[in-house]
Amino acid sequence: MLSAALVLTASMVFGQTDAQKAFKAYTDFAVGGVWTTTDGDRQMTAKYRKVANGTFVELTQKGGLVPFVGMIGVDPETKKCVWWFFNEDGGTGKDVMTQEAENVFVLDTKGTGAKGEVQYKGRITQVDDDTVTEEVIEFVCYGEKQPAQTLTWKRKR
């Protein structure tokens, strides 16, 4: 009986897809408290919370060029870890997140807003329990290329 339980447990852990592993690894550390950073003179805040029995995580980001509400989860159609964005200006976007290494996540976004297209590529690295760096590799917001930069996000619990 014990061996059957071990096989079942192992299949649940090892049977996870890369998307499920990325979702769990990212959201397990990101949920809780309020994350803040500064981009030039713009302060940004982000707050994550689990919804739908933990199947999805809601993200609310205020400040910056494109404030939004988003949902993070594994897309049943594509089998990828996706962030669905709903911008305050009525635009929408879809971001695919992959896990590049332990505590390192790559985001690739395409969206459309009232003022045009949004494209983003970045890398989020967990530094410690309450700090991440966001390396903005490419960001085009409504047709205007934004500078590549690295932002440091800090969490207050």
- Given a cut of 90, whether residue 4 has pLDDT beyond it is no
Q: 14-23, 83-92, 100-109: which range is least confident on average?
A: 14-23
Q: What is the pLDDT of residue 12?
A: 43
**CA distance linking residue 138 with residue 96, whole number of Å:** 15
The residue extents of the domains of the chain are 17-156
- Given a cut of 50, whether residue 128 has pLDDT beyond it is yes
Pairing of strands 144-145, 42-51: unpaired
pTM score, two decimals? 0.88
Q: CB count, 10 Å around CB of 78?
A: 11
The architecture (CATH level 2) of 17-156 comes to: Beta Barrel (2.40)
Using pLDDT thresholds of 50, 70 and 90, give the confidence band for residue 133: very high
Cβ atoms 72, 82 nearer than 8 A? yes
Using pLDDT thresholds of 50, 70 and 90, give the confidence band for residue 3: very low
Q: What is the pLDDT of residue 114?
A: 82
Residue with tokens 């200006």: 89
Q: What is the pLDDT of residue 14?
A: 52
Cβ atoms 99, 21 nearer than 8 A? yes
Q: pLDDT for 63-102, tens place per residue? A: 998 999 999 999 999 999 999 999 999 999 999 999 999 9
Tokens (6 digits) for 152: 């440091």
SS (H, E, C) the chain: CHHHHHHHHHHHHHCCCHHHHHHHHHHHHHCCCEEEEEECCEEEEEEEEEEHHHCEEEEEEECCCCCEEEEEEECCCCCCEEEEEEECCCCEEEEEEEEEECCEEEEEEEEEECCEEEEEEEEEEEEECCEEEEEEEEEEECCEECCCEEEEEEEEC
Q: pLDDT for 26-70, tens place per residue? A: 999 999 999 999 988 899 999 999 999 999 999 999 999 899 999
